[in-house]
Amino acid sequence: KRLILTACERAGVVVTEQDVHDEVDRIAQRFGLSRERYLQMLEIERDIPPSKYMNEIIWPMLALRKVAANQIEVSPQEIAEQMETEF
């Protein structure tokens, strides 16, 4: 987490609490759940408290995504292959 934070500082990347909450909402919606129900399910079934989930799983994921966003280039071939795999 410290390495990710350092990379964010160098790149000028900020992941806000609202960014984290929005991502949790998006994930919960994929399962057809409210944020509260999704976080409750994680705590009951996986023994992951909401604060730990948001700080140790969601925040690093979003931070890495933002730091790497300018460094990732997806080719049309990669998009076509992924589309073929998915659909």
Distances from the Cα of 27 to the Cα of 32, 72, 82, angstroms: 9, 23, 21
8 Å CB contact between 51 and 37 = no
* 59, burial (CB in 10 Å: exposed 0-12, middle 13-18, buried 19+): buried
Residue in 66, 48, 59 with CA at minimum distance from that of residue 22: 59
Q: Name, in order, each residue with C-beta under 8 angstroms of 57's C-beta and a sequence gap of 6 or more.
A: 48
Q: Supply the pLDDT for residue 14.
A: 94
Q: Is the pLDDT of residue 61 over 90?
A: yes
How do residues 11-41 score in pLDDT, each as one tens digit?
A: 899 999 999 999 999 999 999 999 999 999 9
